[in-house]
Structure 1
Amino acid sequence: MLKHVIFDFDGTLIDTNELIINALYETVRNILNREISRHDLLAVLGKYLDDQMKYFSIEKYEEMMLYYKNYYSMHQDTMVKKFEGIDELLKKLKSLGCKIAITSAKGRNGILHGLELFNLKQYIDFIVSAYDVENKKPHPECIYKALEYFKCQKEDIIIIGDSPYDILCGINAGIKTALVSWTIFPKEKFEGIVPDYIIDKPSDIINIVQSQAAQYQ
């Protein structure tokens, strides 16, 4: 039964969308003196920071990473928000005996800062950050690490995310997947990618976990 739940972080648990987009625009504008097109934005959203910056400039990507991180750090406490219902969701999952992991393209310090900002750290049992893996999503390495940590079977775990990389990561690992409907990714980015569930609100996750548990009773 689903006693283990993996969440992506940005755009799934925490609403960092506005900050991430602003940081990207400001980084490219200030370092490369140009504007980002919609095509550029969709090409990099959800990817790891080094890959995002290399997309714009191989020569200046390290300088761009530093600028991005500084901009993000300066604005995160005022621009980052928590999606409605996340507190109740995590609290209910823990009451059902679920173990909760985060697998993210963000660094560990950024994840911990966001969790502490909204008092969510108490609910998280395990974190796999961008720097804890050699292979990035959609490679399933981060899920394999969670499976190893929890010592559970693939049928016991689900990954919940907002990006095609999250869903492909779960598919590649052979586990159940759920896409949140509050994703900022357009439908065309999910062409040919079929999650097991689409979640319209956080409480839907509780229904999925409980319905799966009922099958084993």
Structure 2
Amino acid sequence: MRIIMFDMDGTLVDSGTSITNTINHVRVNLGFEKMEKSFALEKLNDPNISTSKFFYGTDDFTLQQKELFEDYYKENCLKELELYAGIESLLEDLSKDFTLAVATNANSFFAKKMLDHLNIGRYFQTILGYDSVKNPKPHPEMINKILDKHSMRKENAQVIGDSHKDILAAKNAGVDSVLVNWGFSNHDKDAIETIEELKNRIYIKFNS
């Protein structure tokens, strides 16, 4: 039994426009200026900063911020949403040999809605979001929870993501990982560029 856990935003789906628009909707309502898309997404993936502090100036997300974000995102998360090229065929191939899951710092409800909208939700036996754990990535709780649910050993698992938060979550759980470079960050090293490279990395791990 083997499992592959995918991040969602920036790994499976290009949701950068709707995420940025939602962040800016909250910022404007709080009296801040809008942020440029690539800058906002880069900071969203940075494990070394507090996202609530950086985007909204508070130590933790407030109820007002959460409501502003979720109300807007609920109405707009399917707009300008696209699968990265090659993802659907990759999932089709992998689903024959692996259990597939999603570990995302997005809300579980929105994640399932978005993946179903793009017709790939059917590939995943588990879609786990931040609302299902106490500690989102880079904490390992999400990875460990999926392993436990499927009774998988960490040696038989791999995490795929576009952020160092994903890689740290995997490392903290003792799980192998692959960093991809087609998402929201522009990595200088240790990241793969193509779906073909990703497929090779997966099969090298599990066939070695």
Query: Same-fold call, TM > 0.5?
Result: yes
Q: CA deviation at 1:46?
A: 3.5
Query: Match of 2:82?
Result: 81
What do residues 152-204 of structure 1 show as CA deviations (whole Å, max 9, x unaligned)? Answer: 2211111011111111111111111111111322447xxxxx86xx3322233
Q: Give the equivalent residue in structure 1 for 2:140.
A: 140
Larger CA deviation: 205-214 vs 78-87: 205-214
Rounded to whole Å, the distance in 1 between the matches of 2:39 and 2:20 is 11
Question: What per-residue deviation string (whole Å, max 9, x for no partner) do you get for residues 96-142 of structure 1?
Answer: x2001111111111011111101111100112211111122111111
Q: Which residue of 2 aligns with 1:155?
A: 155
CA gap 1:169/1:106 in 2 versus in 1, 3 angstroms:
same
State how far apart, in whole Å, the 2-side matches of 1:15 and 1:38 are.
Answer: 12
Contact residue 160 and residue 180 of structure 2 kept, 8 A: yes
1:205 corresponds to which residue?
Answer: 198
Q: Which residue of 1 aligns with 2:179?
A: 179
Unaligned ranges ≥5, structure 2 = none
RMSD of aligned residue pairs (Cα, Å): 2.7
Name 1:66's counterpart in structure 2: 67
Contact 2:19 2:77 in 1 (8 A): no
Shift of 1:63: 1.9
CA pair 32-205 structure 1, distance change in 2 beyond 3 A: same
Q: TM-score, structure 1 length as denominator? A: 0.82
Letter in 2 for 1:100: L
Deviation at 1:43, TM superposition (A): 7.5
5+ residue gaps, structure 1, are 189-193
Are the structure 2 counterparts of residues 145 and 79 from structure 1 closer, same or farther at C-alpha, using a change threshold of 3 Å?
A: same
Preserved contact between residue 46 and residue 164 of structure 2 (Cα < 8 Å): no
- Corresponding letter in the other structure for 1:11: G
Q: CA deviation at 1:38?
A: 8.4
Counterparts of 1:29 and 1:92 in 2: how far apart (Å)?
43
1:24 is matched with 23
Contact 1:54-1:61 at 8 Å conserved across structures: no
Deviations 1:52-100 (A, max 9, x none): 44541439832222222222222222221111111101100012x2001
C-alpha contact (below 8 Å) 1:11/1:162 kept by paired residues: yes
Does residue 8 of the first structure (1) align with residue 1 of the second (2)? no
CA shift at 1:44, angstroms?
4.7
The equivalent residue for 1:41 is 40
| Residue identity (%) | 25
Query: Is the alpha carbon distance of 1:175 and 1:102 closer, same or farther for their aligned partners in structure 2, counting shifts above 3 Å?
Result: same
Structure 1 stretches of at least 4 aligned residues deviating more than 6 Å after TM superposition: 37-40
Query: Match of 1:129?
Result: 129
Question: Which residue identity does 2:159 align to in structure 1?
Answer: I
Bigger helix fraction = 1
Change (3 A) 1:113 1:13: same
Query: Helix, strand or coil: the match of 2:100?
Result: strand
Please say if residues 17 and 37 of structure 2, whose CA atoms lie closer than 8 Å, have aligned partners that are also in contact: no
Deviation at 1:33, TM superposition (A): 4.1
For 2:167, the aligned partner's letter is I
Q: Which residue of 2 aligns with 1:191?
A: none
